[in-house]
């Protein structure tokens, strides 16, 4: 009986937390890259694999509302306190790290070394797709490819950033683990770039509730929060049927 009551209270707490989440309207734009936009839209709007009554990426999406910032300086100030993302980003920059757009085919070995540097991340084994060395990369038209170089010019972190409509999605985000704040630095620079461009309203860093406590803390110090999401598809919807 006590166990049942405990489970009911936990469920009630979860539902109450979900209701309080802010709501974001994310738009997929088929004009950007029809095949990739369609595939991602279908993945995000299919039934959740465990909780069938909700959409796959509709509850607890980790978002940063870029539109709230008048400038990148305002964003940096909002996370600038000690032990927050801006603090670690400044540390990395002071230690000689540089943020840059990258041509991945110029860094094939560096990317492979980064992928192989940890057997697991956030308590989960690295996916099989990260184990093989990719001999040649083909860019996707709606993606940006950026990275962080150390003082010697070695690639120490990289990100594949997808633009899907009014939001940008961190697709791959990997780097060496150290205490220099490299990953904080890369995300702060990416968000600053997006703020300057004014091309998207939100940045999305996967989901919130499925992440480890450490990863949720990492997202928090960079300004990300959990949201409820409603998705819309712009363009010819018949070209992207939802199954």
Q: Please tell me the distance from the alpha carbon of residue 106 to that of residue 99, in angstroms, as a whole number.
A: 16
Confidence of residue 13 (pLDDT cuts 50, 70, 90): low
Tokens of 183: 């990953």
CA distances from 217 to 114, 118, 160, 214, 225 (A): 22, 20, 22, 5, 10
Residue 173 has pLDDT above 70, yes or no: yes
67-126 pLDDT tens trace = 999 999 999 999 999 999 999 999 999 999 999 999 999 999 999 999 998 776 665 667
Residue 53: what pLDDT? 43
Q: Which residue has the higher pLDDT, 33 or 48?
A: 33
Task: List beta partners, residue 174.
Answer: 158
Q: Which residue has the higher pLDDT, 174 or 129?
A: 174
Tokens of 52: 């069938």
Instruction: Tally the residues of the chain.
Output: 243
Tokens of 43: 């993945």
Q: What is the DSSP string of 41-58?
A: HHHHHSBPSS-TTSBTTS
Taking phi first (over 0 means left), then psi (-120 to 50 degrees means alpha), and beta for anything else, what does residue 206 get? left
Residue 19 has pLDDT above 50, yes or no: yes
Q: What is the DSSP string of 171-195?
A: EEEEE---SS-HHHHHHHHHHHHHH
Tokens of 75: 């964003």
136-172 pLDDT tens trace = 999 999 999 999 999 999 999 999 999 999 999 999 9
Residue 57: what pLDDT? 82
Residue 28 has pLDDT above 70, yes or no: yes
The backbone torsions φ and ψ at residue 242, rounded to the nearest 5 degrees and listed phi first, read -90, 125
Sign of CA dihedral 101, 106, 108, 114: negative
Confidence of residue 50 (pLDDT cuts 50, 70, 90): low
| Maximum Cα interatomic distance, the chain, rounded to a whole number of Å | 63
Q: Tell me, yes or no, if the pTM score tops 0.85.
A: yes
Q: Please tell me the distance from the alpha carbon of residue 59 to that of residue 69, in angstroms, as a whole number.
A: 24
Residue 32 has pLDDT above 70, yes or no: yes
Q: Please tell me the distance from the alpha carbon of residue 28 to that of residue 43, in angstroms, as a whole number.
A: 12
Mapped onto helix, strand or coil, the DSSP state of residue 155 is strand
Sign of CA dihedral 196, 202, 204, 210: positive
Q: Which of 38-47, 61-70, 134-143, 233-242 has the lowest mean pLDDT?
A: 233-242
Mapped onto helix, strand or coil, the DSSP state of residue 235 is coil
Residue 187 has pLDDT above 90, yes or no: yes
Which of 26, 234, 30, 41 has its CA nearest to residue 141?
30
Residue 112: what pLDDT? 94
Given a contact cutoff of 8 angstroms between Cβ atoms, the answer to whether 226 and 209 are in contact is yes
Q: Which residues does 40 contact at the CB level (< 8 Å), separation at least 6?
A: 28, 162, 164, 169
Q: What is the mean pLDDT of residues 10-17?
A: 61
């Amino acid at each position: 009986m006590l166990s049942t009551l405990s489970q009911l209270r936990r469920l009630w707490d979860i539902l109450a937390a979900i209701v309080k989440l802010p709501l974001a309207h994310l738009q997929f734009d088929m004009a950007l890259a029809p095949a990739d936009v369609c595939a991602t839209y279908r993945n995000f709007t299919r039934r959740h694999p465990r909780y069938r009554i909700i959409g796959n990426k509709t509850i607890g999406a980790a978002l940063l509302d870029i539109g709230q910032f008048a400038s990148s300086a305002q964003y940096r100030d909002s996370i600038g306190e000690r032990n927050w993302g801006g603090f670690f980003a400044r540390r990395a920059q002071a230690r000689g790290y540089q943020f840059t757009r990258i041509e991945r085919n110029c860094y094939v070995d560096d990317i492979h070394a980064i992928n192989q540097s940890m057997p697991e991340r956030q308590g989960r084994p690295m996916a099989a797709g990260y184990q093989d060395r990719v001999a040649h990369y083909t860019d996707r038209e709606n993606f940006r490819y950026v990275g962080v170089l150390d003082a010697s010019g070695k690639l120490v972190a990289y990100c594949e950033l997808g633009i899907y409509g009014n939001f940008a999605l961190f697709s791959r985000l990997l780097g060496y683990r150290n205490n220099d704040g490299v990953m904080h630095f890369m995300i702060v620079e990416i968000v600053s770039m997006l703020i300057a461009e004014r091309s998207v309203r939100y940045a999305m860093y996967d989901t919130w509730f499925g992440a480890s406590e450490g990863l949720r803390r990492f997202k928090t110090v960079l300004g990300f929060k959990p949201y409820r999401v409603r998705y819309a598809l712009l363009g010819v919807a018949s070209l992207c049927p939802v199954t």
